[in-house]
């Protein structure tokens, strides 16, 4: 896929593993965009131990926001449903905005695990640029916003049992929401959110993450 095609059209969506194979057929590695906990190389290596070429980058035309329920926070025991502190960070297209990200390469063999780990997201093909403005030669995969209906139809194949496995057993019937707050442990990465920390987050930076995931959420 040429750079001009990516620049002139809406980002291409990868819906399943076969789409990844088509796009990245000429390499044994694929490039992944990181934001949130993946801005930390130590945290990224906790998920992708064999990643290579970890570096900072910029992505134009996107913004970050907290607005979806993350099942992985429930699995790790750090979600607080009683206070609605259950949200993870996401990205979405937004004209005129840009975000700082990381870019790194993972082996093709890691694609299935990558899809399962980030199952609630839409996977988009994007072209980041270096911090000094040079467009990357190769595209990368970005996790972006889905909708509840798309998640059910695409990721769950319209199967209620699959939905139950990921969300229903947590009594969650809506994923993408505007009435939830960031997960407290996860928010430790985002200490510039002064308004949140002042209004809701008293004590966040003094709270210790659970020992089993301390390497991931401790900076």
Tens of pLDDT, residues 37-51: 898 899 899 889 999
Rounded to an integer, what distance in angstroms lies between the CA atom of residue 119 and that of residue 83? 24
The pTM of this model reads: 0.81
> What's residue 2's pLDDT?
47
Give mean pLDDT, residues 90-107. Answer: 95
Closest to 139 (Cα-Cα) out of 103, 90, 101: 103
Closest to 188 (Cα-Cα) out of 34, 39, 32: 39
Does residue 133 surpass a pLDDT of 90?
yes
Task: Judge whether 121 and 70 are in contact, CB under 8 Å.
Answer: no
Domains in the chain (CATH in brackets) are 3-184 (3.10.490.10)
Does residue 217 surpass a pLDDT of 90?
no
Structure tokens at 20: 């990844």
89: number of Cβ within 10 Å: 22
Give mean pLDDT, residues 88-92. Answer: 93
Percent of the residues in the chain that have a pLDDT greater than 70, as a whole number: 84
- With vertex at residue 145, the alpha carbon angle to CA 174 and CA 122, rounded to the nearest 5 degrees, is 105
Does residue 55 surpass a pLDDT of 60?
yes
Q: Using pLDDT thresholds of 50, 70 and 90, give the confidence band for residue 5.
A: very low
> What's residue 104's pLDDT?
97
Report which of residues 186 and 30 the model is more confident about. 30
Cα dist. 187→33, 65, 184, 197, 201 in Å? 19, 12, 5, 9, 9
């Amino acid at each position: 896929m040429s750079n001009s095609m990516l620049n002139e059209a809406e980002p291409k969506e990868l819906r399943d593993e076969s789409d990844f194979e088509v796009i990245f057929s000429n390499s044994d590695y694929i490039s992944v965009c990181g934001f949130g906990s993946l801005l930390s190389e130590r945290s990224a290596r906790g998920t992708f131990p064999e990643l290579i070429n970890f570096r900072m980058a910029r992505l134009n035309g996107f913004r970050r926001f907290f607005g979806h329920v993350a099942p992985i926070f429930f699995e790790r025991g750090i979600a607080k449903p009683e206070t609605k502190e259950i949200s993870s960070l996401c990205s979405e297209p937004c004209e005129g905005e840009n975000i700082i990200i990381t870019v790194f390469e993972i082996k093709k063999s890691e694609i299935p695990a990558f899809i399962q780990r980030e199952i609630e997201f839409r996977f988009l093909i994007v072209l980041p640029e270096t911090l000094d403005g040079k467009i990357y030669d190769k595209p990368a995969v970005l996790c972006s916003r889905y909708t509840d209906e798309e998640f059910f139809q695409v990721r769950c194949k319209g199967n209620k049992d699959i939905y139950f496995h990921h969300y229903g057993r947590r009594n969650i019937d809506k994923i993408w929401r505007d009435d939830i707050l960031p997960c407290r442990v996860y928010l430790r990465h985002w200490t510039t959110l002064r308004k949140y920390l002042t209004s809701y987050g008293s004590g966040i930076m003094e709270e210790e993450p659970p020992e089993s995931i301390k390497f991931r959420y401790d900076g």
